[in-house]
Amino acid sequence: MAYIVDRRLNSKNKSAVNRQRFIKRYRKHIKKAVSEAITQRSITDVSGGEDISIPREDVSEPGFQHGPGGKRTIIHPGNKDFAKGDKIPRPPGGGGGSGGGEGDASDSGEGVDEFVFEITQEEFLEFMFDELELPNLVKRKLAGSDSFKYVKAGYVNEGSPNKINILRSMRTASARRIATGAGAKSKLKQLLSEREALMAVELEARDNQVIKHLDEQIEKLQSRIKRIPFLDTFDLRYNLHIKHPMPTVQAVMFCVMDVSGSMNQSMKDLAKRFFVLLYLFLERNYKKIDVVFIRHHTNAKEVEEEEFFYSRETGGTIVSSALKLMLEIMDDRYPEDDWNIYCAQASDGDNWSDDSPICREMLTNDVLPRVQYYSYIEVNPGSQQALWGDYEQVQIDNPDTFAMRRISDVSDIYPVFRDLFQRKAE
């Protein structure tokens, strides 16, 4: 029988198996902490890790202790307070003498904090998308890394045979032969000239000893030159390819949300989760991405994310004010020739009846010709509102760049998102 022992070390010498067991055991606490983190974090920082706190009593392990009754013998080494034969009273209640809990507050102000550990970015995304029932393939895509391509980056002295650069290797070999044989060839040329001059002298006047000495030197130099290899392993040059990030273009995402009196906090939370998914999706496809938050009731303004989701300012609803502001920002900062523009609008659909046709015209004539994709999300568990009917006509006229869906519950978010952004067959 063969036994296979896996002695590979896990990262930081921690047991990955035990970690997964721990996460599985305390899934409820982690899921609750992730859910709270989503609402507290900014959209651009939602994909990091998270510190999870678990109450001490929930991570306590069972243990054995002596119950009341029975007989037992205990030896206390190093005892200086009791002598042999002394009787030691049992702890009150028959317990094992543990006393008060470690984490309980005392009059000295001491105690034990809750158990805290950190989950990774991948684990955070897994729990974040868990209630949305994300397929594993899409989880990996959202939590994945940048894409690269291999590009030429010069030459190196070592490599695989299939990457040999013949031209560069031959140039190097030629340079080496010239460098190592230049002195010998120059000396050989000089000696040959001297020998030729001596040989031109009449036979009676020739100094044969000098000629013989020159012949010996010439032979040595010729032998030395012949020993210079035509191609040496030192001459070999290999093509070097390195991973280079794929050139990506920049994108801007406009988050437009209705904050009128009819939009409650639960609707805003649904909208935020959708915006989070959209941001993560765009972040994996573009190297640079900006996020612009526009909130509106009767008036629209550009705000920071905190005010976008949590401001209590409310009023009536005029959706066209947000579209006008978005166009102004595009003209000022995001020309369509340089930016890929995406827009996501979240609303409960309530709007002044006279304003909905204006929105339809603005989208058709001004907004959609400049954007890559525009998605309208109606977060309303009730029936369709006034804005829906006019937007339906926009979708019919622009099926490739405009899409609209309804979300009534958190479980609808990911199916709607995947339906909006799934890859289309070419």
Q: Specify whether 218 is located in the same domain as 167.
A: yes
Single out the residue in 240, 261, 285 at which a domain terminates: 240
Residues 289 and 412 placed together within one structural domain of the fold:
yes
Q: Are residues 265 and 381 in the same domain?
A: yes
> Is the residue at 151 inside a domain?
no
Candidates 359, 372, 360; CA nearest to 300 is: 359
Provide the pLDDT for residue 101. Answer: 44
Average pLDDT, the chain: 75
DSSP letter for 69, please.
S
List phi, psi (to 5°) of 146: -65, 155
Given a contact cutoff of 8 angstroms between Cβ atoms, the answer to whether 166 and 235 are in contact is no
How far apart, in whole angstroms, are the C-alpha atoms of residue 368 and residue 349? Answer: 19
Residue 309 belongs to a domain: yes
pLDDT digits (tens, 9 = 90+) for 241-286: 888 766 556 788 898 988 887 777 788 788 878 887 777 776 766 6
What does the DSSP assignment read for 190-223?
Answer: HHHHHHHHHHTS-GGG--HHHHHHHHHHHHHHHH
Domain identity same for 287 and 139: no
Task: Let me know whether 411 and 296 are in one domain.
Answer: yes
Distance CA 295, CA 157 (A): 60
The pLDDT value given to residue 13: 46
The CATH number linked to 344 is 3.40.50.410
Q: Is there a single domain that holds both residue 139 and residue 165?
A: no
Between CA 363 and CA 390 the distance in angstroms is: 10
Which one of 189, 212, 240 terminates a domain?
240
Q: How confident is the model at residue 134 (pLDDT cuts 50, 70, 90)?
A: very low
Q: Dump pLDDT digits (tens) for 24-73.
A: 767 777 777 776 666 565 655 655 566 666 665 555 556 667 676 777 77
Contact partners, residue 232, CB within 8 Å, separation at least 6: 173, 176
* Domain membership flag for residue 338: yes
Domain identity same for 277 and 333: yes
Whether 235 and 302 share a structural domain: no
Domain end point (choices 219, 240, 261): 240
Query: Which has the closest alpha carbon to 140: 119, 124, 126, 120?
Result: 126
* Whether the Cβ atoms of residue 369 and residue 380 lie closer than 8 Å to each other: no
Quick one: pLDDT at residue 137? 42
* Same-domain check for residues 124 and 185: no
In a domain, 90, yes or no: no
Residue 95 inside a domain? The answer is no
| Residue 98 belongs to a domain | no
Q: Is residue 312 part of a domain?
A: yes
Q: 399 or 261: which carries more pLDDT confidence? A: 399
Prediction pTM value: 0.49
Question: Structural domain tally of the chain?
Answer: 3
Kindly state whether residues 234 and 266 are assigned to the same domain.
no
Do 234 and 258 fall into the same domain? Answer: no
Residues 166 and 119 in one domain: no
Instruction: Please give the residue range of the domain that contains residue 180.
Output: 161-240
Asked if 377 contacts 407 with a C-beta cutoff of 8 angstroms, the reply is: yes
Domain-embedded: residue 218:
yes
Strands 402-407 and 238-245, by their bridges, are: unpaired
Please determine, for residue 108, whether its predicted confidence score (pLDDT) is greater than 60.
Answer: no
Which pLDDT value is given to residue 358? Answer: 92
